[in-house]
């Protein structure tokens, strides 16, 4: 079984709502064996173009775990808050 990663490209619109969203996400990850790999802010663009200023990478034990997490009631309940808080592009990758 190979690892899978969720990569989120983020532009925050509302700092308070974003802080609330971020504080609630870890509880949705735990049942799926996921862990935060890193969060960061864009330092510079070396090639191409992006409007996103922040990034998050979350490691999962499998693509099935990514799918289960994303479709879980716990995470689905947070999506309206996420949409109010930030513009987010979420992608999943398999290694």
Stated pTM of the model: 0.93
Number of domains composing the chain: 1
44-52 long-range contacts, CB within 8 A, separation 24+: 50/9, 51/11, 52/9, 52/10, 52/11, 52/87, 52/89
86 exposed, middle or buried (CB, 10 Å; 0-12, 13-18, 19+)? buried
Pair 26, 78: CB distance under 8 Å: no
Residue 53 φ/ψ, nearest 5 degrees: -105, -20
Q: What does the pLDDT look like over 35-80, one tens digit per residue?
A: 999 999 999 999 999 999 999 999 999 999 999 999 999 999 999 9
CATH code of the domain covering residue 13: 3.30.70.100
Q: Which domain holds residue 34?
A: 4-94
């Amino acid at each position: 079984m190979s690892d899978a990663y969720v990569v989120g490209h983020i532009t925050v619109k509302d700092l308070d709502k974003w802080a609330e969203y971020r504080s609630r996400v870890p509880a949705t990850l735990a049942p799926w064996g996921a862990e935060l790999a890193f969060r960061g802010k864009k330092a510079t663009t070396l090639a191409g173009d992006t409007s996103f200023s922040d990034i998050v990478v979350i490691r999962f034990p499998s693509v099935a775990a990514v799918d289960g997490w994303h479709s879980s009631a716990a995470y689905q309940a947070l999506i309206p808050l996420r949409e109010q808080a930030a513009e987010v592009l979420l992608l999943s990758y398999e290694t």
